[in-house]
């Protein structure tokens, strides 16, 4: 079993972070979400950095801990409702007998290593309260998959195994390239984000920093250009929509959410985290699939990344492939948000290490999959960690029907599925087909040079 690492202040200092002066609160007993068994005891509080947390302990605790890294990133200020909502979504973990802990992170906005530090701080808090667990698992969902994978790399002695579900596993430097493409392709066809009458700004900013646009306002512009919710689109709207979907390979139902990310989260990354520097590039990309590719490629806005911004985003978020403990992933083949090809990038980043098992389901969801599947994945991962018997996609699938008797949410594993390469779905930038995107050596050298990525 792992030795307990240094306290949260020591972790922060090791990462080059300066925690704000604030008094930690809790853990105090709080009301549990109604989705949990009635005999669960829940605790809440706020850590020294301002991150809220929730802990749930089942009456028949099996002695093991699951630390959860949530997705997003959320752009608003942290709130205790974030962790309560996460606990509701992942109540299956508690029903399976595990102690569950989740952090809101100390602030909104992008920052993978910030979330890593807050995840590790919470683990240490749980150990101080309940003692060293028999086994400590790390679970990351969506962007939290990136956070969890990075946490396992930065804190290799803290976690015994890792479960990554619907993960954004291509990292920050490449994992958002399809949203970069959406941002420029949308503007080429729609010309209303910004409008000709509004102040101009480079599209890699997502949105100018002083804009008061809301999500509702952005959705109205999307509707104006594509008639996305209308049953009676004009021929121009239909062609705009067809071209945008064909070129970006984003599904119609997910288009609004991706455009939202490429607007508001890009603004956060650029203006709030990177001091106005551009980490994105579409140089060398040839767009295809439209009714007139030549005109599109001639007219779409082009830009190159600021090397220092690209470095900081990569250091903050890219996976080096150095995870040494068992890792099991679950990903829906039809995931409309984090394309299943993220798993191919992750597989290539780990270099066919023997400690990775990837499973896939025929679902078309991102935010949550079947509880029966999560229970099966947890069971397989813990057995692997404790006995050394490595599961297979087929064995995980075979265990699901027994769990479905309990949960009744269905089993949709496809043991034969293998995702195509990341570049088959997302336009690769020059040099962007080699994985990992950040090598262990480069990460080490940048660290020695004092690179800290994105400030907390």
Are 297 and 138 within 8 A, CB to CB?
no
Residue 43 contacts residue 29 (beta carbons within 8 Å): yes
Nearest of 430, 376, 379, 384 to residue 407 by alpha carbon:
376
286 vs 247: CA distance, rounded Å: 10
pLDDT of residue 9: 33
What pLDDT was estimated at residue 4? Answer: 33
Beta strands 52-57 and 41-46 are antiparallel
DSSP assignments along 273-321, one per residue:
ISTT------TT----SSS-HHHHHHHS------HHHHHHHHHHH---S
Contact 440, 320 (CB under 8 A): yes
| Selection from 174, 107, 450 nearest residue 318 by Cα | 174
Q: Are 328 and 384 in contact (CB under 8 A)?
A: yes
End-to-end C-alpha distance for the chain, whole angstroms = 30
Determine if the peptide bond prior to 73 is cis (ω within 30°): yes
pTM score, whole prediction: 0.92
8 A C-beta contact, residue 84 and residue 118: no
Count how many Cα atoms sit within 13 Å of the Cα of residue 107 in the half-sphere of its side chain: 15
294 Cβ neighbours under 8 A, 6+ residues apart = none
Which candidate, 213, 217, 209, places its Cα nearest to that of 269?
Answer: 209
Cα–Cα dist 299/280, whole Å: 18
What is the pLDDT at residue 26? 79
Integer Cα distance of 131 and 1 in angstroms: 12
**Which pLDDT score, from 0 to 100, does residue 22 have?**
60
Query: Coil, strand, or helix at residue 163?
Result: strand
Is residue 364 within 8 A of residue 410, CB to CB? The reply is: no
Q: Tens place of pLDDT for every residue, the chain, 456 residues?
A: 343 333 333 333 333 334 444 678 879 999 999 999 999 999 999 999 999 999 999 999 999 999 999 999 999 999 999 999 999 999 999 999 999 999 999 999 999 999 999 999 999 999 999 999 999 999 999 999 999 999 999 999 999 999 999 999 999 999 999 999 999 999 999 999 999 999 999 999 999 999 999 999 999 999 999 999 999 999 999 999 999 999 999 999 999 999 999 999 999 999 999 999 999 999 999 999 999 999 999 999 999 999 999 999 999 999 999 999 999 999 999 999 999 999 999 999 999 889 999 999 999 999 899 999 999 999 999 999 999 999 999 999 999 999 999 999 999 999 999 999 999 999 999 989 999 999 999 999 999 999 999 999
How far apart are alpha carbons 167 and 349 in whole angstroms? 14
- How far is residue 286 from each of residues 185, 227, 228, 339, 432, measured CA to CA in Å? 11, 27, 26, 20, 14
Tell me the two tokens of residue 246. 């064909």
Backbone angles phi, psi at 295, to 5 degrees: -65, -40
Question: How many Å apart are CA 102 and CA 122, to the nearest integer?
Answer: 8
Q: How many helices (H) and strands (E) does the chain have?
A: 16, 9
The reported pLDDT for the residue numbered 25 is: 83
Which residues lie closer than 8 Å to 94 by C-beta, 6 or more apart? 36, 37, 40, 56, 58, 87, 100
For residue 17, what pLDDT is reported? 37
């Amino acid at each position: 079993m792992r030795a307990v690492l240094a306290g949260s202040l020591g972790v922060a200092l090791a990462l080059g972070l300066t925690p704000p002066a604030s008094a930690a609160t809790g853990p105090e007993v709080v009301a549990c979400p109604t989705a949990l068994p009635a005999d669960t005891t829940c605790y809440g509080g706020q850590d020294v950095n301002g991150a809220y947390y929730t802990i749930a302990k089942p009456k028949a605790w099996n002695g093991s801990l699951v630390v959860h890294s949530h997705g997003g990133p959320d752009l608003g200020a942290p709130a205790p409702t974030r962790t309560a909502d996460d606990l509701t979504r992942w109540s299956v973990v508690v029903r399976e007998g595990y102690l569950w802990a989740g952090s809101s992170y100390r602030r909104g906005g992008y920052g993978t290593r910030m979330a890593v530090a807050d995840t590790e701080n919470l683990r240490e808090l749980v150990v101080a309260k309940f003692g060293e667990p028999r086994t400590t698992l790390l679970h990351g969902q969506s962007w939290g998959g990136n956070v969890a994978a990075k946490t396992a790399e930065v804190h290799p002695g803290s976690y015994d195994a890792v479960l990554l579900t619907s993960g954004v596993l291509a990292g920050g430097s490449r994992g958002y390239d399809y949203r970069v493409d959406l941002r420029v392709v949308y503007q080429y066809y729609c010309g209303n984000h910004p409008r000709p009458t509004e102040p101009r700004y480079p599209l890699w900013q997502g949105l100018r920093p002083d804009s008061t646009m809301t999500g509702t306002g952005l959705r109205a512009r999307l509707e104006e250009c594509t008639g996305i919710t209308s049953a009676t689109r004009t021929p121009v709207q239909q062609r705009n929509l067809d071209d945008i979907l064909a070129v970006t390979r984003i599904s119609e139902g997910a288009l609004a959410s991706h455009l939202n990310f490429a607007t508001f989260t890009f603004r956060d990354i650029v203006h709030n985290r990177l001091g106005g520097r551009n980490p994105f590039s579409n140089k060398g990309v040839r767009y295809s699939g439209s009714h007139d590719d030549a005109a599109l490629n001639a007219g779409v806005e082009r830009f190159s990344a600021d090397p220092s911004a690209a470095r900081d985003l990569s250091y903050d978020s890219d996976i080096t492939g150095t995870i040494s403990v068992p890792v099991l992933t679950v990903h829906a083949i039809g995931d409309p948000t984090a394309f299943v090809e993220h798993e191919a990038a992750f597989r290539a980043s780990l270099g066919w290490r023997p400690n990775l098992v990837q499973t896939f389901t025929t679902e078309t969801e991102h935010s949550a999959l079947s509880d029966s599947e999560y229970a099966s994945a947890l069971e397989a991962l813990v057995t692997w960690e404790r006995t050394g018997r490595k599961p297979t996609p087929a064995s995980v699938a075979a265990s699901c029907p027994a769990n479905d008797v309990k949960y009744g949410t269905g089993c949709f594993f496809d043991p034969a599925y293998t995702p195509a390469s990341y570049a088959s779905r997302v336009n690769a930038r020059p040099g962007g087909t080699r994985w990992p995107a950040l090598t262990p050596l480069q990460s080490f050298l940048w660290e020695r040079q004092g690179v800290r990525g994105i400030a907390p």
